[in-house]
Each structure stands twice: as C-alpha cells, then as structure tokens.
Amino acid sequence: MRYLPLIVKNCLRNSRRSVLTIISLAISLCLLGVMMALYYALFLGAPAKSQARRLVTRNKVSIVFQMPIYYRNQIRNVKGVEEVAIWQWYGGVYKDSRDQRNFFPRIGVEADKLFKVYGEYSIPEDQKKAFIQDPASCVVGKALANRFGFKVGDKILIKGDIFPFDLDLTIRGIYSSSETSDETLWFNFKYLENALRNSSRLAAGTFTMLANDPAEVPRIAREIDALFANAPTPTHTESEFAFGVSFLSFLGNIKVILMSICGAVTFTILLISANTMAMSVRERVREVGVLKTLGFQQSTILGMILGESAVIALIGGAFGLAIAQLLCIGIRQGPAIVDQTKTLTLQPPVVALLLGIAMVIGMASAVVPAWNAARTNIIDALRFTD
C-alpha cells in the first residue's frame, strides 16, 4: 500500500494507452462474463422453487417420438407423484412464419391439470373455469399478451404444420407467473382429442409431474423409467430443470462450446495485457535505473510493475462485468430458449472468479518484462535508449 500512489500515477503516465487497454479488456471481460453467466445458469444454477418439484417424462429415444396416453395412469400411481399432466407440442404458424417475432410456444395440455402442476401461475378463477370448460380455448402468459396485445375473448388462428389441422382458439384467460416471464400459449388438450379421434397420432408428447417433495424427484424418475423399461415405448424421466437444458443438446455439446469461447477470450485478454505491459516497461528502463540509484530494491520495482498491470486489468474487468450484467438484463427481456435464460445474471461467485482471472492475467502478462527490467543493472538501465 505504501507505493500505491506511485503505481496509480504510473498507470496514468500514458493515459491514452491505458484507456484503450482498459476498453479492450472491458470488451473481452464482458464477453467472458456473459459466457460464464450462461454456463453457471445452465449447469451450476439451482432450479426455481416451484420448478424443483417438477419432472418431465419423454420418449427415451427422442422427444420427437410420442408415448401412449395410458402411461399417465401408471405414472400417477408412482409413490410421491402428486399430479401428472399430458403435454403435446403443436408447433404451427402464427401469421407469418418468416417473421421470427411471431414465434412462441404453443402447447396442448390437460386444462384441469395445468394450474395444479404449475402452482406459480396466477389467473382469475372465472378465466380458469372458462379454459377448462371450453375445448377450443387457450390461455396465454401475460408477457405474450403484452407482446401481441392479446385480450380475453380474442380469437387466434394457428396454422398446422406438424398436425394436419389448424387451431382456431379463443383466449379464455391471461395468467401471470411469480417466478418467470412466461410467453407460452396453452390450449386445451381436448382440442387434439376431438381433432384426432380414433387416430394413432393422438398421443402424449411428454408427461409433466409434480412431486410431493423435491427430495423425491430422483427416486420418482428412476421408478417411472423402470416401470416402462420393457415396454414397447421406454421412457426417460428427468427434472424439469434438466429437461430444459437438454433442449440445447440439439445445438451440440454446449459445455465444450462455452468453455472453448471462454478459453479463446482469456487468451485474447492475456495477449492484450502482455502487449501493453511490454511497451510500458520498455519505455521505463531508464526510470528503473534511476529508482535503483535512489535505493529501490529489485523486489520493490518488480512489485510496482506487477501492481500497475493488476490495477489496469482490474479496472478493465470491473467495467467489463458491469456491461456484461446489463447484457444479461437485456437477454432476460428477450424470448427464452430455455427457462434458465430468464434468470440470467452474474452470480457473486462468477464475479469473484472473473475479477480474479483479470488480476491474475494482468500480473502474468507483466511477469516477464517486469522481471527483465528489475534485473537490469543500473549502468545498463541508464544507458538504455529506445
């Protein structure tokens, strides 16, 4: 701390270069921060309180294959299952498929089970009853209603692309969620039952269960899969949190992709910082000779140069993480590919880790030039000309 004023003053010696270096580091740390926040949310974060009790059962081969509806009754009898509801992804096209802003999830669900399984949904009682009683009805999330200006009583036409019929729905309710900004359209599963009556296509896409206790989720998953292990259609059951992450597997190995990007960004930061410190130290070789003449020890000079690099790296890292947090807020407001992106933020462990990385990289990049400068004898340093 004794030499901190001198370290700060040296950081400002070439203010233009220091500012440009800080900006470069901030941009790199911003990208690294968003990637690390995404990694934490997907693979290290905990599910929301309501989500912790939910499980999803799908076809073991792939989610695109369906399961018999009668599985529901057998799953319901598994100890610890409080409720089970059928899901069916409809897909379809709303207005113009070429405009990505028209995309939102359209899912058929057993209307009388939806608000039991998703207890965090809030909807007026009269709207809930209207949804349950009308087979050609749907409910939409408040965020979705705000996006398209939907109101209760509005008609929505969804053109079928997976199923050979269109959905002509009436909005019977608008729900809100206490935990997420949900943009899903849930329509009554009876619509599918009526349209596919006596058809082999009438099946369950997934089953969503509500467990009595979050601690029972692993056991319930094992028992359900064991129940259908020798059936013509075996199942794969996992927590809803894990099910959401599994969607990303369609894009490839997300862990490897994220870590590769983080590694590339870290290496870039190292190069930027090393280049800056090499130029800074080279300009000050004669100054090092003067400091030694005044009695500064080699270790003191080495520490001052490393400290200077660490200060610049920390300032750049702090700015970068602030920008990364703003980007996370922006991502949370956008359409959700998986639920985890709705809670995307820089968690304290991630912030501490990234600031530590910034400081370590800053010091590591300055070790070689600082060591060479500190070892230079006084005569050679005073004779040095750039």
C-alpha to C-alpha distance for 144 and 150, rounded to whole angstroms: 8
Query: So what's the pLDDT on residue 384?
Result: 66
* pLDDT of 336: 62
Per-residue pLDDT of the chain (386 residues; tens, 9 = 90+): 667 777 777 777 777 877 888 888 888 888 888 888 888 887 777 777 778 899 999 999 988 899 999 999 999 999 999 999 999 999 889 988 788 788 888 999 999 999 999 988 999 999 999 999 999 999 999 988 998 999 999 999 999 988 989 999 999 999 998 766 678 899 999 999 999 888 888 899 999 999 999 899 999 999 999 999 999 999 999 988 888 777 666 666 777 888 888 888 777 777 777 777 777 777 777 777 888 788 888 888 888 888 888 888 888 889 888 998 888 888 877 666 666 677 778 888 888 888 888 888 778 877 887 788 777 777 777 776 66
Predicted pLDDT of residue 198 = 80
Q: Which distant-in-sequence residues (6+ apart) come within 8 Å of 243 by Cβ?
A: 56, 58, 206
Structural domain boundaries in the chain: 3-46+254-383, 62-233
Per-residue model confidence (pLDDT) at position 168? 94
Contacts by residues 5-9 (CB-CB < 8 Å, ≥ 24 positions apart): 6/304, 7/304, 7/307, 7/308, 7/311, 8/311
Torsion angle (degrees, nearest 10) of CA 106, 109, 113, 114 = 0
Q: What is the distance between the alpha carbons of residues 4 and 8, in angstroms, rounded to a whole number?
A: 6
How many CB atoms are closer than 10 A to CB 222? 11
Residues 276 and 56 sit within 8 Å (Cβ to Cβ): no
Give the residues across from 176 on adjacent strands: 122
What pTM did the predictor assign?
0.68
